[in-house]
Structure formats: C-alpha cells, structure tokens
Amino acid sequence: MDEPTIRRYLSESRVAVLQIIDEGGVRDATDVARSWLGKRGSLSPAHAQRLPRISGQLVWQLANLGWIERSTSGWVLTDLGRHARGMQQQQLAMS
C-alpha cells in the first residue's frame, strides 16, 4: 500500500484505534471500546452506548487494511500499521 492510499484511509477514529492497539492488551473490540471510553470520558451517552459496535467495525476495517493482525495475546500492529501511525504522527508534527 502506497503513502497516498494510506493517507486516504487515515481517519481520526482509525488512528485512535491504532494507538489503543499499539499500547497493548487489546483482545477484542470490547477492550478497544473500554480503553477509548477511558481516554475520552466526555462522550455523549448515546455515543458511548454505540462505541462497542463502532470499535468492532474499526477493528474489522484495520484488519482488512492489513494494519493490525491477531497474535496469541490479542491484536497487534503490523509493519504497515506502524508505518500508517508514523505517517499520522509526522503530519501532526508538521502542523
């Protein structure tokens, strides 16, 4: 996957899930939702209620993009996922 394609798929929510997974200990979408809610407790009750479903969709998307994969301990970033996350961090540094 080339860098223009990666940039096209680098949404704020995907980057947030990449960061959560990179921190480790994520076995499933419920873990992602729990961590996300802990980081952003200011979510509306309706959004917080939908977060497990949203997290499941994002995990599925990231796996299909090849940015994350299953390991024995749960989800981990692939080399491509680390590259995508690094590109996002570079974009923030340049801003």
CA gap 20, 42 in Å, rounded: 17
Which neighbouring-strand residues pair with 70? 75
Range of the domain at 49: 3-94
pTM of the model: 0.88
Report the CATH number that the domain containing residue 74 is assigned in CATH.
1.10.10.10
Q: What are the per-10-residue average pLDDT scores of the chain (95 residues)? A: 92 92 91 88 84 94 97 93 87 67
**pLDDT score of 38:** 86
CB atoms near residue 53 (< 10 Å): 11
**pLDDT score of 88:** 79
**pLDDT score of 82:** 94
The number of folded domains in the chain is 1
